[in-house]
Structure 1
Amino acid sequence: MNRIRVLIADDHPVFRYGLRALLLAEASTVEVVGEATTGEEAVSMAARCLPDVILMDLNMPGLNGIEATSRILASTPKIGILVLTMFDDDESIFAAMRAGARGYLLKGAEGDEAIRAIVSASKGEAIFSPAIANRLFGYFERPGRRLPESPARPFPELTAREREILTLIAQGYTNPAIAERLVLSPKTVRNHVSIIFSKLQVAGRSQAIVLARESGLTKD
């Protein structure tokens, strides 16, 4: 029996260490083929390693887990992406489902539960932790309920991180203040700002602020 090739995508080293240890204990079933610490790394490593399953965190630097999931599945739809996160709000759950994730587990799940979820995801099955499954069943049991549509957002060409930084710019934050608020390096913020200006085709900060405020971005 071929082992299930798993890629871990999470920016927390302690959590990755624990998850890797769990998977190594199941070496007859699972093989860890790589670890990514950002959404961008997850996308590139997915193309390079071609895992059967990706354990995807939602909140990572740069490209978040939802956007990384969408990009990966757009090019390699056979990969089973299993979200493993601390977020249990409806918006995150439905966003993951819309992006194509095969499952959604909360961090803190029992080891056996995680292994079963990996095996199920590798077979193309949908798997959710009991708490998430109960919430989904409760949601859809209500008359007239359906999967909520993702509302149209301004500047769809921006990543979630870029949109977040543009919002802070429009609210009057300086680059150093943005770096401190988002726990990023000043250089990273400068790079993001430069990319934002390029994508929006604006000459500078004042034009970006006007554009963001006119679009209603600061109301998100």
Structure 2
Amino acid sequence: MGDVRVWIIEDDRDWLRGLVAYLNKEPDLQVVWTASEAEVVRQALRDGKQLDQPADVILMDIMLDGRPEGILLAEETAAATGARVIMLTSMEEKELIFRSFQAGAIDYQIKSDFERLPDAVRSAFRSQSPINAAVAERMREEFRRLKQLEREFEVKKVGDLITPSELQLLDLIDQGYTQPQIADKLVVSIRTVKNHVNHVLKKLNLSGSREAATKVKEMGLFHKKNDEDSTK
């Protein structure tokens, strides 16, 4: 493997100098450019000045000038250069780290564990960076949250489509009543029941009344209806 070209974006200049010296001791790593301010990086990307010394891997401090500017910068540099971004942080702040992964970073490293950085850079270069367990759990939490929001949206959409009388009809179907029995119970004609059933099936884009009743039941809409009835 040839030299892995590294950019370092870090606002602690003393730590930056030490990190440059540390990484450059590795025979296969070469720090080709550094910056301490986000705007310097953005200007360089706009001007294209760094294309002569492109990065394979970028070490990006999450906190620049006292704010998490590195998160936005990670997305911008990854898009502009195609380099793989490793976030550097002084503390394991899960929310900021998760946002960094959303922005396109592929790894993060705690600064106090700087001895691990050479191997982290090599892994990033080979696209073999493992997802940290804490970040993976945060991602799972976010997927669960999005799944719940999706379900709540679907329940609300169906709840808004179905009228109270149609919900009552589906409830009776779920309880096993036949259409003639439903007509007798509701004191309507069998034709009216059939029309209501067909109307509901069109709304839900389903082909069978039992399927429709099951879907509504699984969404908890019968339970919601019963709760509302008990408060009247």
TM-score by length of 1: 0.56
* CA deviations over 1:50-108 (Å, ceiling 9, x no partner): 110111001113881011111112223x2011111113112111110000001111111
2:25 corresponding residue in structure 1: 25
1:115 corresponding residue in structure 2: 118
Change (3 A) 1:119 1:43: farther
Tell me the secondary structure at the aligned position of residue 72 of structure 1. helix
- Following the alignment from structure 1 to structure 2, what is the Cα–Cα distance between the partners of residues 42 and 24? 21
Is the CA contact 1:36–1:45 (under 8 Å) kept in the aligned structure 2?
no
Counterpart mapping for 1:55-70 below 5 A:
55-61=59-65, 64-70=69-75
Aligned AA for 1:122?
F
2:53 aligned with 1:74: no
* CA deviations over 1:137-192 (Å, ceiling 9, x no partner): 44467xx652878xxxxxxxxxxxxxxxxxxxxxxxxxxxxxxxxxxxxxxxxxxx
Identity of aligned residues (%): 26
5+ residue gaps, structure 1: 150-220
- Following the alignment from structure 2 to structure 1, what is the Cα–Cα distance between the partners of residues 114 and 80? 32
Is the CA contact 2:98–2:135 (under 8 Å) kept in the aligned structure 1?
no
Tell me the secondary structure at the aligned position of residue 87 of structure 1. coil
Is the CA contact 2:63–2:69 (under 8 Å) kept in the aligned structure 1?
yes
- Following the alignment from structure 2 to structure 1, what is the Cα–Cα distance between the partners of residues 97 and 145? 11
- Following the alignment from structure 2 to structure 1, what is the Cα–Cα distance between the partners of residues 57 and 70? 14
Is the CA contact 1:117–1:127 (under 8 Å) kept in the aligned structure 2?
no
Change (3 A) 1:11 1:2: same
5+ residue gaps, structure 2: 147-232
Larger radius of gyration: 2
2:95 corresponding residue in structure 1: 91
1:170 corresponding residue in structure 2: none
CA RMSD of aligned residues (A): 2.5
Change (3 A) 1:56 1:127: farther
Post-superposition shift, 1:45? 4.4
Change (3 A) 1:64 1:137: closer
Is the CA contact 2:98–2:139 (under 8 Å) kept in the aligned structure 1?
no
- Following the alignment from structure 1 to structure 2, what is the Cα–Cα distance between the partners of residues 19 and 148? 39
Post-superposition shift, 1:118? 0.2
- Following the alignment from structure 1 to structure 2, what is the Cα–Cα distance between the partners of residues 127 and 12? 27
Change (3 A) 1:148 1:60: farther
2:2 corresponding residue in structure 1: 2
Is the CA contact 2:37–2:64 (under 8 Å) kept in the aligned structure 1?
yes
2:135 aligned with 1:136: yes
Aligned pairs, number: 140
1:102 corresponding residue in structure 2: 106
1:146 corresponding residue in structure 2: 143
TM-score by length of 2: 0.54
- Following the alignment from structure 1 to structure 2, what is the Cα–Cα distance between the partners of residues 57 and 123? 21
Tell me the secondary structure at the aligned position of residue 146 of structure 1. helix
* CA deviations over 1:92-133 (Å, ceiling 9, x no partner): 11110000001111111141x1111000111223345xxxx2
